[in-house]
Amino acid sequence: MKAFIINKYSKKGSLQLTNVAISEVKINDVLVEVHASGLNLLDSKIKSGEFKLILPYKFPLILGHDVAGVITKVGKNVTKFKVGDEVYARVADFRIGTLAEFIAIDEKDVALKPKNISMEEAASIPLVALTAWQALVERAKLKKEQKVFVQAGSGGVGTIAIQLAKHLGATVATTASEKSFTMLKNLGADILIDYKTQDFESILRNYDLVLNSQDTNTLEKSLRILKPGGKVISISGPPTPDFAKAIGAPWFVKVILSLISSGIRKKAAKLGVNYSFLFMRADGEQLSQITSLIESGVIIPVLDKTFAFEQTNDALAYIESGRAKGKVVVRVK
């Protein structure tokens, strides 16, 4: 099958289109013919080696975390799915590789594709929607009338997190450029802050939750807009010792992450707020709940651009440019 691979970590190098063997289908796996693959900044960060300490991949490596397609084969222990099912997934770490014509995925990480959206739209959903779900529902347990600040509202995670937070009954503030305001208001954002001309720290007060996806300076400012006991959940780091423990990292990784995150954890503690790092995980059950929200119209996918499979390097470059509003998808079939 055709696939885009890397043979070493590199910030500037391109993905190589080559022929590789189709993945082995294990007893709990489904083999999916890939129709579309959603791209994420995570793909670029893995390509450059940014996560090699906590995700030590072997080469050659096929990139890609999000997939929508059709099941063509099932392992002998598979019970939830059958050949011909249209599905989508954020595949598990160390089993990534959706920038290919086929991929084998553990059935526990897979969900039936929402019936009311296209393959391209479905491929845009899993990683960002699971990130939003695990931050807002699982970890923060966001409730009605609470206040949440979603940074970078026009990004992939932001567009879904705003919709999910509104569904949960929260007041939602977000940052974006003014040209994105109409779109974000339509998604449910209550307070729109132009990051080019306004300082969110001077506008927002007594928030229950911040979903941080930006730099260290923005993270530190976010601590100061929280009410006592409020939470910052960061998807851009720094990772914490708790995260190292959760993934079963070696002792030296725990030590390194403890040092890296000690400054922000101390500042949070001094202010009486909580800081945690979220690296989302694959979860087919949660994705099935998200499917229900999509089919009922609560969450709508937000696509920026769709690229042909042969244009995958152009798609990744577009992701890295930071100009995308919503998600970028590669059409494989």
Summarize the confidence of residues 276-286 as an average pLDDT. Answer: 97
**Gap between the Cα atoms of 184 and 229, Å rounded:** 28
**Gap between the Cα atoms of 60 and 51, Å rounded:** 16
| Same-domain check for residues 234 and 134 | yes
Asked if the structure places residue 64 within a domain, the reply is: yes
| Same-domain check for residues 203 and 318 | no
**Gap between the Cα atoms of 202 and 215, Å rounded:** 18
| Same-domain check for residues 118 and 147 | no
Angle 284-295/126-133 helices, nearest 10 degrees?
100
Identify the pLDDT of residue 322: 87
| Same-domain check for residues 14 and 148 | no
Torsion sign (Cα): 299, 300, 305, 308: positive
| Same-domain check for residues 226 and 187 | yes
Strand 110-112 to 86-90 pairing:
antiparallel
Asked if the structure places residue 287 within a domain, the reply is: no
* 323 pLDDT higher than 90: no
273 contacts 73 by C-beta, under 8 angstroms: no
Asked if the structure places residue 284 within a domain, the reply is: no
| Same-domain check for residues 12 and 34 | yes
Asked if the structure places residue 227 within a domain, the reply is: yes
Asked if the structure places residue 294 within a domain, the reply is: no
Could you say which of 277, 292, 313 is where a domain stops? 277
Tens of pLDDT, residue by residue over 209-224, are: 999 999 999 999 999 9
Least confident of 10-19, 203-212, 242-251: 242-251
| Same-domain check for residues 154 and 105 | no
C-alpha distances in angstroms, 139 versus 135, 154, 258, 320? Answer: 5, 23, 21, 28
| Same-domain check for residues 111 and 138 | no
| Same-domain check for residues 136 and 270 | yes
| Same-domain check for residues 115 and 149 | no
- pTM of structure: 0.97
Asked if the structure places residue 285 within a domain, the reply is: no
Asked if the structure places residue 243 within a domain, the reply is: yes
Percent share of the chain, pLDDT over 70: 100
Summarize the confidence of residues 121-150 as an average pLDDT. Answer: 98
For residue 238, whether the previous peptide bond is cis, meaning omega lies within 30 degrees of 0, is yes
Asked if the structure places residue 79 within a domain, the reply is: yes
| Same-domain check for residues 143 and 194 | yes
**Gap between the Cα atoms of 200 and 6, Å rounded:** 39
Average pLDDT, the chain: 97
The CATH number assigned to the domain holding 191 equals 3.40.50.720
* 261 pLDDT higher than 90: yes
Q: How many domains does the chain have?
A: 2
Identify the pLDDT of residue 128: 98
- For residue 323, the one-letter residue type is R
Summarize the confidence of residues 256-283 as an average pLDDT. Answer: 97
Parent domain of 187:
128-277
- For residue 45, the one-letter residue type is K
Strand 66-74 to 86-90 pairing:
antiparallel
Identify the pLDDT of residue 5: 98
| Same-domain check for residues 101 and 209 | no
**Gap between the Cα atoms of 299 and 289, Å rounded:** 11
